[in-house]
Amino acid sequence: MKPEELFASVFEPALFEQVLKSGKQMTLHEGKPFLQLGDVVRNIPLVLEGKLKVTRMDEEGKEILLYYIHPGESCAMTFTCCMQQFPSEVQMTAEESTVLLSVPMKFMDEWLETYPTWKSFVMKSIRIRFNELLKTISQLAFHKLDERLVIYLKEKSRVSNSSLINISHEQIAQEMATSRVVISRLLKALENDGKLLLYRNQIKLLSGF
DNA sequence: ACATTAAGTGATT
DNA sequence: AATCACTTAATGT
C-alpha cells in the first residue's frame, strides 16, 4: 500500500512530509530480519505491506511470538526502548514479503515535541500493545492450552477471512511456545469432535467452530 | 524410486 | 503437557 493511504490521515501534513523524507522504503523478503537480538535500535519500522513478526528468546533460546506489526502500524517495543539506546531484547523478522519505511530513530525526540499527531501515534500504538499484552496474560492465566488453540485458530481464520488455514502443526507449536506433538494431539482431538478437518499444512474449520 | 518433511501415536516422565 | 522414539503419509526431486 502507498504511505498516503495508511498515514496521510493520521499524521499532520508537515509530519507526513518528514516521514517520507527521512524514511527509507525497503522490502524484506520472507524470513529476513529487520532487527536482530542484541542490535541497538537505530530505526523504527512503519509497515506498509505484509507483516513483521516480533519475537523474543526465552532462557533456553526458544523463540516465542510476541506480536505482529501490520500495515499502518509500528513497533511499540522499539518506541519504548530505542530512546535509551538499549540493545534489543526482541527480534523482528518478515513473516511474509514486507514493505516498510525505515525511519532513523534520531527523529523521535524532535517529532515527539514538534508533532502532536506523532505523539498520539506513538502513544496509541503503545496503548494498543499494552492492552493486547494484558489480554494475552489473562489467556495464559485462565485458559488451558486446548482453549488457547481454539482461540488461536479462530483468530487465524478471522484475519485470513477464510475457514481454510494454511499452516503446519510445527508453526503453530512455535507460535504458542509448545511442541509439535502436543499441537498434533490437540488438533486430532478437535478433528474427532467434528470441529475441523486436518490436511497436510492445512486446517479446515467446520461450521461448529 | 528415493529423500525429505509433515503428521500420528504409544510409552514414559 | 513435554519428550522420545518410531511409524505412516504426503510431497519434492
Q: In Å, what is the CA distance from A41 to each residue of A81, A90, A167, A192?
A: 8, 10, 31, 47
Distance from residue A182 (CA) to nucleotide B10 (C1'), in Å?
A: 14
Q: What is the pLDDT of residues A78-130, one digit of tens each?
A: 887 665 677 788 889 998 889 999 999 888 888 999 999 999 999 888 888 88
| Position A175 pLDDT exceeds 70 | yes
pTM of the predicted model, to two decimals? 0.68
A28 touches strand B (CB under 7 A): no
Which grid coordinates are listed for A49?
Answer: 505491506
Distance from residue A184 (CA) to nucleotide B10 (C1'), in Å?
A: 14
Distance from residue A17 (CA) to nucleotide B13 (C1'), in Å?
A: 61
Residues 160-179 of chain A in contact with strand B via CB under 7 angstroms = 168-170
Q: How many residues does chain A have?
A: 209
